[in-house]
Amino acid sequence: MSDQNSLKVAFSRPSISEEEEKAVLDVLRSGWLTTGKYTLQFENDFSAFMNSKAYMNENRKNSGLSTDQVKSLAVNSNTSGMILAMEAFGVKKGKAVITTPYTFVSTAACAHHLGAKVYFADVEKDSYSIDPEKVEELLKKDRESGKNEICAIVPVHIAGNLCNMKKIMALAKEYNVKVIEDAAHAFPSESQLGYGGCIGDAGVFSFYVTKTMTTAEGGMVTTRDDQAYKRMTVMRMHGMDRTTWDRYTSPRASWEYDIVAPGYKFNLPDLLSAIGVCQLKRAESFFEKRKKIVERYNQAFKELDFIQLPPDGEGNAWHLYLMRIKPDLLKISRDEFAKELQKRGIGISVHFIPLFHFTYWQKEDKNFTKENFPNAEKQYQRTISLPLWPDMTEEMTEAVIKEVTDIGRIYHA
């Protein structure tokens, strides 16, 4: 792997200010490093952000969706949050979820950790989003078989571009299943129905270091369901009926608690939450900076016949810039194009390797092959993720454009 600091343009770098540095020092000096008041503040601030758009409630009401306030629970990763959300909404042995093969492995693995099956639906023809028509085919097949295994749909908002949530929510209502959004890329994807990650029954965000805001490692679960929220709160910390902060700050003895379920250890410590509190304040400015870089990329690349611009829908958070090459107009493959960019000092990645390329998932289902998911495979074979982070300079952006253009010119068919 390339050292990002040695590149002409790193693929991603977090934007850290003196405010984050001060917040971390304050926690270090406080004597309380684990989950406590900073995590509570982070959760409350995140909920306030999600609930801040008054018009969303009216639009949700008109769509027949709950207008209850969003509640947030900080966790140590998106993966942990997905397990909590799935468990709270009944994903378990004997049940199944529907998700996309075009995602990071944790989306599907979380269901397997809980003993559930995973059914995959291909992405739409010209996007990275799960295809509602394919989802409906699976739901209909499940109902007609009499199994009624499927209990949840798990859409993934790739690159921050929202899936067709109106259709997905309508299917969920018709087939009486839950919607758990993998919103790792989706902050702050704002749609008429709410922010991506708080449209369905639960949404799970990621604050990994490359994401649109960061806590270094960490995530957030959002839900409007009181019962699910209470369940996740208990399961986040060993199935304990009291939080650590409560045990050590209330008059009641710290050792007086009950274990009501076999829970997990998924809490986010104050040391990381303090960073999150600061990053959340800057999230909208991060978003505006990313959009300007996207606009410049689009302006330059729309003139190049060997590139197709990324999909762009309502409320796109622009976490990633997914440049799509047109292989028939180039003498080199996507992998060769990507390696050329790396040779020239441009940090890149590929999002994502569809799960049917991996040994474990191939063993799980002999029909889980690229031939049965042609849209996902097509997108994978031509996609390169370019640098896109708030502190990129104009010079860096122009350097990326120059190298993409030069490689395309040299290897044009």
Report the candidate in 314, 312, 318, 316 with the shortest Cα–Cα distance to residue 59: 314
**CA–CA separation, 110 and 311 (whole Å):** 27
Mean pLDDT over 253-279 rounds to 95
Distances (CA, A) of 241 to 220, 236, 303: 20, 10, 59
**Residue-averaged pLDDT of the chain:** 96
pLDDT at 16 over 80: yes
191 — phi, psi (to 5°)? Answer: -125, 175
Active-site residue identified among 71, 134, 178, 211: 211
C-beta atoms surrounding 188 within 10 Å: 20
Backbone angles phi, psi at 145, to 5 degrees: -75, -20
Q: Is the pLDDT of residue 1 over 90?
A: no
CA distances from 20 to 27, 272, 281 (A): 11, 10, 11
Tokens representing 90?
A: 């009944």
For residue range 44-76, list pLDDT tens digits in order: 999 999 999 877 788 898 889 999 999 999 999
Contacts of residue 76, Cβ cutoff 8 Å, sequence gap at least 6: 217, 218, 219, 266, 267, 268, 269, 272
The packing angle between helices 78-88 and 106-113, to 10°, is: 40
Residue 211 designated active-site: yes
- From CA 364, how far away is CA 347, in angstroms rounded? 34
Angular region, 236: left φ>0, alpha ψ -120 to 50, beta rest: alpha
Q: pTM here?
A: 0.96
Confidence at 83, pLDDT banded by 50, 70, 90: very high
Q: Is the pLDDT confidence value at 6 over 80?
A: no
- For residues 373 and 52, the model is more confident at 373
